[in-house]
Structure 1
Amino acid sequence: MNELAAILKDSKKFSRRNDLKLIERAYTYAAKAHEGQMRLSGDPFMSHCIKVAETLTSLRLDSTTIAAGLLHDVLEDTPHTKEELEEEFGEEVARLVEGVTHIGRIKFKSSEEHQAENIRKMLIAMAKDVRIILIKLADRLHNMQTLKYLPKDKIQSISTETLQIYAPLAHRLGIAKIRSELEDLSLHYLQPETYYELAQQIAEKKAQRENEIQELCRVLNNELKRAGIKAEVTGRSKHFYSIYRKMVDQRKNLDEIFDLRALRIITSSLRECYGALGIVHTLWTPVPGRFKDYIAMPKMNMYQSLHTTVLGQKGERIEVQIRTADMHRIAENGIAAHWLYKRGTDSEARFDERLVWLRQLLEWLQDLKDPKEFMENLKLDLFSSEVYVFTPKGKVIELPAGSTPIDFAYAIHTDIGNSCRAAKVNGRMVSLRYRLKQGDVTEIMTSKKQTPRRDWLDFVQTSRARSKIRHWLRVHEKIEEEPEEREEEAPRIQKQPDVQRKATSRDNVDVGIGDVSHMLTRFAKCCNPLPGDKIIGYITRSRGLSVHREGCPNVLTDDPARLLTVNWGGKIQASYPAGIRVKGTDRPHLLADILASIRELNVNINAANAYIRKDGSAVCDFVIEVTDQSQLNSIIYTIRKVDGVYSVKRSAVAGGV
């Protein structure tokens, strides 16, 4: 119970709104549910739940999240149900616990498919409620802290996944303290010899470095006080993994890397941040090109700070970070720091903006079916550090470091990317392979004759650019690869599908009945089949053969003798009505923009209907003329790019069956 008392005490410190009784009830419920269960370490299972709750408390999260953290394994490892949790703790707690539990439950054909789908589900859950991933991160942190009790192969696979997925996610969410510990633990398990060697070398130099840092802090503190700036100056230690990465990336030894001194200045106001920067640059010589203002231009994970590198009296490099206390809290706790203050405040919109990268990532990855391709693109987005570049009109575009003008073009709009033929950076022509740098003003020149090229995939950096280029190549190269002779093989007139009677005898042998052009054939309006769809025929009592899409509920029947196997025959030169339903966030000109995107494809619109729901979302129903399923998919893909649209699906055509 001492652990519970500490959680309650810390929770009460940072928010009077926290429901301490809810946390107490969750602790009691979880302890009873896990009674008798033990971890591989030999500790009671409940010790894991407590550690997860302690991490969530240290992130200053609300009582609902802390309670869900205590209960996060109840649905997975005990007989209790979501309904029981909901009755005891309410819908919100139950939903969070189910969200954490749902990640990792489904069985898949391969480990790659398993990992890809689990990560996809985790991202979707996070987009719905970011607290789910915060609980999952706290869960993973304690599992990593006790990983040594697992078999060696499990240790390797879990550590690799942590380093490739969970640590970058923590970074994307701005939670520095969880990210650094996950990275250090992963290094410890994946490369133990490197880890211990590094730890020993750092320990040997620790005393000397601390003395040097204390002297730098003393000098800086005196100058800040003389200038009337209230601030706290401390040394800033680098975690093992960041040192290791620098050694590998820069091919330097520890002495060269660890020669870097790091200071942090915490001020009481924004104005004093820039005042402190002036003091630092007066005391020591600034290193050109090493100043970054993340206060004026925050990172997407909400991080704000001034960064500068200066040369000390002996020529040593000193890295300095300057931020306010609030900025420091956000730098340590990231998106978790905003959760308590999000609801009912004008910061809610800004909070949601911080997850734009996640929604964009999900959009770009949603069409990737191959597990390898999914993981490749995911890691590309999670691992990359950021570079900020500008449009000619001054809009800031965030891209992964190493991005090219083509990545920039696709970040603006898919059509700009597809037709990108050249680029100017800072007023000068550059190669499309040029690597964009901080502050570059980038202008894209387009041409209607330009199309995406396969070799672009060799150097683009963003998953958005990769997925858009691959999609264009799949669609257009497939059309180009079709043999010209196929047109001649098709019948001159092909208005009806080729039909075979489905076997009704027990031997399940299909019996072909030849040409059925004499049979009246119509396409069902309930599901509107298109060339490319899998179809089935249904013999009606008075209207001949009705052709439906396979799986259409209207062809479920107790009389299988009335079902016919139907195949599309040859090339079909005709157009068919297709229904689509578009959902989006209501805004001025949304319907006009959707209509314009359809008209750009020279598609005939037969009907359109739009209305606004009570929740503020817009719903638009269209009936359009298309030649086949492929064209419909291209139209759906185009509409999805319209600003504000979040769902485009095929629907039934109004007017009945």
Structure 2
Amino acid sequence: MAKTKIYSGPEVIDMVNSYMSETDALKVKEAYDWATELHCEQVRKSGEPYIIHPIQVAGILAELKMDTATVISGYLHDVVEDTTAELVDVEHKFGPIIAGIIDGVTKISKIQYQSSQEQLAENHRKLLLAMSKDIRVIIVKLADRLHNMRTLSALRQEKQRRIANETLEIYAPLADRLGISTIKWELEDLSLSYLEPEKYHSIASQMNMKRDERIQYVETAVVEIKEAIQGLELSNVDVYGRPKHIYSIYRKMTDKHKAFEEIYDLSAVRILTDTIPDTYAVLGAIHSKWMPLPGRFKDYIALPKANGYQSLHTSVVGPGGRPLEVQIRTHHMHEVAEFGVAAHWAYKKNKGSNKEAKVNDQNEQTLNVIQGILELQEDAKNAEDFMDGVQGDLFSDRVYAFTPKGDVFELAKGAGPLDMAFSIHTNVGIKTIGAKINGRIVPLDYKIKTGDIIEIITSSTAKPSRDWLDLVSTRRARNKIKQYFKQLNRNDNIEAGKDLLTRSLHEMGFEANEILVTEKLVKTSEVLHYNSYEDMLAAIGYGDVAAPGVANKLTEDIREAQEAAKTAELQREMLEEGHEIKRVETALTQRQKSSADDIVIAGVDNLLVRLGRCCTPVPGDQVKGYITKGRGISVHRVGCPNIRAAENQGQRLVDVEWEDENGLKPNYDADLTVHGENRNGLLNDVLRSINTRTKYVNSVNGHATKNGMAQVSLSIGVKNTEQLTAIMDALNNLPAVYDVERTFH
């Protein structure tokens, strides 16, 4: 990571003088002098004078060209919490607006962070609600967090990891949602350096080793691009290289299971122009010179991201036949991309200009974020429910769909027609009976893709179904459906809840009549904090609580007894040194025979496809296929020895890929091996961890070794590599487990 700038007090004052009026700059200087006086005897954990921290926070805000109130708040953000000054003193000297910003930042800072999930969710809820009152509160907090991350080495390791994890989970996504990429990238890279230091430094050193080669490649590309666009006779065009950030490379390696050597686009070229027509002209020149890579072009100018980001992205076969990523945008779009909502204050005085119109668009995007936060707060049952909604609806990837009239709707990735219907209006959602996508009738569980034209079909006599709760993915739609059923007759909801609970118990293999007795219902309703078991059944009926969750709680003691008896025998056998155990759980699952139907073959239809058992590919793995004699296409993971052998034998390889992941089957075989100490309870912990994350367990096989170690082999069913990685991470966190590896035959 590039060395960060350390500002001196006079440097920050010079920065604000460059874009503020003389009167405003004097107010900033007054705040700096007062903060210096108040913090004069204080020092940080690192031993340096405390005033250095407010100076750096104000410097970061001045780099963003924030307004006077925000920069002053940067200097004074800690005075109420850490000095003798009170909020009334701030208001007396600098007015109610600045006092309000500092009050918001102070309230966030006073939160005592604890390890429990519920407490963390409550902390984050307060942070986001403070942001919704004045966006400048969170911008000051982002600058504060950025400097704290830059100086995190002064804290003990446990606190470093906690702060870094919180930064990666909340603050970096917030910076991204507000479009402030210049802060987002640095927060992500710094967080990774504390959470995964070995991987961070490995990527950094490998990037440094190839630095000269990368610089030379980018310089060649820049020269050739300038030559390609010379004939366009454009003015004020900048062309330069942009290195990838370490965190983005780490994510690509992790999500796509690639080695560093397989990441080719370590650098990108960015082109800045004056006007939007110029960007498309440059794109045409680039595509005329180099062949574009299929599926790698994205037009964020016509369809901006939720945070206001606009740019053209394309990947081409560049100099020397190597992939090259190119971003093309206007100078103003670049300012918005770097500074996001902060660009509003940079262009605040350009009233009536084209820039001002774009800034207003950006403000509207920000207000949408704030409005979304307030809506989620109104609908949430508790802090965890609120945070689930924020992370799912506001911080997730987005898709953009059109109505038949051409209106654009922005939805969370994974949303379906019902989600869009409820985003249009509650009454549209309630009356929905179907949907057409691009003129074709689709089921309500269809996953919307960017560019889809969606027509919602309604009927005045239609009513929602309780099954809709399983079909929607956005919190807004789910809450509206729940509200509808909550308003129905209480007795209807109790009966509906009992029916749903009976169905869940049957699916789990239990006799409902034996479980749904008054004693068990009363006990479970008390555990779940309902006044009566009828209230609990009604809550299931209108969708406030999921029936499978209540069924799990009702049968918890029975299942625990069954599992304890089964695992006790397995554990006893494993503890006998050198003894091997094997239990095939055929009752739990069977392999999906049609899994290979989810493979798409480039340019070929109606061929028999089978997944290679040697490497057990799952969605998310990079795959390759080869044509066998009489058995169709055999699909294997890239890197599988059988693929290399087929290629060496002259067999024809074909490009294959997974179908859209949202429509895939839930069960693909994957094999894992767990290595750990042969302690009592190990097998039980492994099975518990697995069972909470997948219901498909094909087999368990374990044995103890002479050196007191144990090895457990598992065959499980997963939907994709993301689920598999989560399972492996959970197993790695178990006590006495020192390694979990994916195994292949």
Fold conserved (TM > 0.5)? Answer: yes
Q: Distance in 1 between matches of 2:7 and 2:189?
A: 29
Deviations 1:63-101 (A, max 9, x none): 221111000000111121111111112222222111211
Instruction: Note the C-alpha offset of 1:13.
Output: 2.1
Q: Distance in 2 between matches of 1:340 and 1:314?
A: 41
Alignment correspondent of 1:58? 63
Give runs of aligned pairs for residues 12-161 of structure 1, distance below 5 A.
12-16=17-21, 19-105=24-110, 111-161=116-166
Q: Distance in 1 between matches of 2:311 and 2:346?
A: 22
Instruction: Note the C-alpha offset of 1:233.
Output: 0.8
Q: Distance in 2 between matches of 1:257 and 1:456?
A: 41
**Match for residue 327 of structure 2 among 321, 330, 340:** 321
User: Which letter does structure 2 place at the counterpart of 1:353?
Assistant: E
What is the DSSP-based 3-state SS (H/G/I as helix, E as strand, rest coil) of the residue aligned with 2:258?
A: coil
Q: 1:444 and 1:151, CA in 2 relative to 1: closer, same or farther beyond 3 A?
A: same
More helix by share: 2
Q: Distance in 1 between matches of 2:23 and 2:381?
A: 42
Instruction: Note the C-alpha offset of 1:134.
Output: 0.5
Alignment correspondent of 1:562? none
Give runs of aligned pairs for residues 547-562 of structure 1, distance below 5 A.
none
Alignment correspondent of 1:223? 228
Alignment correspondent of 1:295? 301
Deviations 1:432-458 (A, max 9, x none): 222221111011223456544555444
Greater Rg, structure 1 or structure 2?
1
Instruction: Note the C-alpha offset of 1:208.
Output: 1.2
Alignment correspondent of 2:434? 422
User: Which letter does structure 2 place at the counterpart of 1:463?
Assistant: R
Deviations 1:254-297 (A, max 9, x none): 22223454110011233321221111111111233433222233
Instruction: Note the C-alpha offset of 1:412.
Output: 1.2
What is the DSSP-based 3-state SS (H/G/I as helix, E as strand, rest coil) of the residue aligned with 2:447?
A: coil
Q: 1:253 and 1:337, CA in 2 relative to 1: closer, same or farther beyond 3 A?
A: same
Give runs of aligned pairs for residues 495-506 of structure 1, distance below 5 A.
none
Instruction: Note the C-alpha offset of 1:110.
Output: 8.2
8 Å CA contact retained: 2:300, 2:311:
yes
Q: 1:469 and 1:248, CA in 2 relative to 1: closer, same or farther beyond 3 A?
A: farther
Give runs of aligned pairs for residues 372-451 of structure 1, distance below 5 A.
372-447=384-459, 450-451=462-463
Q: 1:41 and 1:449, CA in 2 relative to 1: closer, same or farther beyond 3 A?
A: farther
**Match for residue 257 of structure 2 among 242, 251, 259:** 251
Give runs of aligned pairs for residues 194-205 of structure 1, distance below 5 A.
194-205=199-210
Q: Distance in 2 between matches of 1:110 and 1:257?
A: 36
What is the DSSP-based 3-state SS (H/G/I as helix, E as strand, rest coil) of the residue aligned with 1:444?
A: strand
Q: Distance in 2 between matches of 1:133 and 1:182?
A: 14
Q: Distance in 2 between matches of 1:382 and 1:190?
A: 24
Q: Distance in 2 between matches of 1:2 and 1:384?
A: 35
Deviates more, 1:134-143 or 1:405-414: 405-414
Structure 2 runs not aligned, ≥5 long: 1-5, 497-534, 536-745
What is the DSSP-based 3-state SS (H/G/I as helix, E as strand, rest coil) of the residue aligned with 2:263?
A: helix
What is the DSSP-based 3-state SS (H/G/I as helix, E as strand, rest coil) of the residue aligned with 2:147?
A: helix
Count of residues in Structure 1 that have an aligned counterpart in Structure 2: 485
8 Å CA contact retained: 2:221, 2:319:
no
Deviations 1:298-332 (A, max 9, x none): 32322121222222254432221111111111110
What is the DSSP-based 3-state SS (H/G/I as helix, E as strand, rest coil) of the residue aligned with 2:47?
A: coil
Deviations 1:444-488 (A, max 9, x none): 22345654455544453323223323434555485524479xxxx
What is the DSSP-based 3-state SS (H/G/I as helix, E as strand, rest coil) of the residue aligned with 2:451?
A: coil
Q: 1:107 and 1:320, CA in 2 relative to 1: closer, same or farther beyond 3 A?
A: closer
What is the DSSP-based 3-state SS (H/G/I as helix, E as strand, rest coil) of the residue aligned with 1:37?
A: coil
Q: 1:483 and 1:206, CA in 2 relative to 1: closer, same or farther beyond 3 A?
A: closer
User: Which letter does structure 2 place at the counterpart of 1:254?
Assistant: F
Q: Distance in 2 between matches of 1:88 and 1:20?
A: 15
8 Å CA contact retained: 2:113, 2:119:
yes
8 Å CA contact retained: 2:7, 2:55:
no
Alignment correspondent of 1:353? 364
What is the DSSP-based 3-state SS (H/G/I as helix, E as strand, rest coil) of the residue aligned with 2:210?
A: helix
What is the DSSP-based 3-state SS (H/G/I as helix, E as strand, rest coil) of the residue aligned with 1:42?
A: coil
**Match for residue 341 of structure 2 among 331, 335, 338:** 335
Q: 1:162 and 1:121, CA in 2 relative to 1: closer, same or farther beyond 3 A?
A: same
**Match for residue 284 of structure 1 among 286, 290, 298:** 290
What is the DSSP-based 3-state SS (H/G/I as helix, E as strand, rest coil) of the residue aligned with 1:286?
A: coil
Alignment correspondent of 1:163? 168
Q: 1:479 and 1:35, CA in 2 relative to 1: closer, same or farther beyond 3 A?
A: farther
8 Å CA contact retained: 1:167, 1:183:
yes
Q: Distance in 2 between matches of 1:186 and 1:458?
A: 35
Q: 1:22 and 1:295, CA in 2 relative to 1: closer, same or farther beyond 3 A?
A: same
8 Å CA contact retained: 2:310, 2:337:
yes
**Match for residue 474 of structure 2 among 455, 462, 471:** 462
Q: Distance in 1 between matches of 2:260 and 2:469?
A: 36
8 Å CA contact retained: 1:260, 1:319:
no
Q: Distance in 2 between matches of 1:182 and 1:109?
A: 21
Instruction: Note the C-alpha offset of 1:17.
Output: 6.3
8 Å CA contact retained: 1:112, 1:371:
no
Alignment correspondent of 2:178? 173
What is the root-mean-square deviation in Å for CA atoms of aligned residues? 2.6
User: Which letter does structure 1 place at the counterpart of 2:81?
Assistant: E
Instruction: Note the C-alpha offset of 1:135.
Output: 0.2
8 Å CA contact retained: 1:389, 1:439:
yes
Identity within the alignment, %: 45
Determine whether 1:364 maps to 2:369. Answer: no
Instruction: Note the C-alpha offset of 1:59.
Output: 0.5
8 Å CA contact retained: 2:13, 2:25:
yes
Instruction: Note the C-alpha offset of 1:215.
Output: 0.3
Alignment correspondent of 1:239? 245
8 Å CA contact retained: 2:122, 2:384:
no
Determine whether 1:275 maps to 2:286. Answer: no
Q: 1:169 and 1:284, CA in 2 relative to 1: closer, same or farther beyond 3 A?
A: same
User: Which letter does structure 2 place at the counterpart of 1:159?
Assistant: A
User: Which letter does structure 2 place at the counterpart of 1:286?
Assistant: P
Alignment correspondent of 2:8? 3
Deviates more, 1:436-445 or 1:302-311: 302-311
Q: Distance in 2 between matches of 1:478 and 1:236?
A: 61
Alignment correspondent of 1:498? none
Instruction: Note the C-alpha offset of 1:206.
Output: 1.8
8 Å CA contact retained: 1:168, 1:382:
no
User: Which letter does structure 1 place at the counterpart of 2:391?
Assistant: K
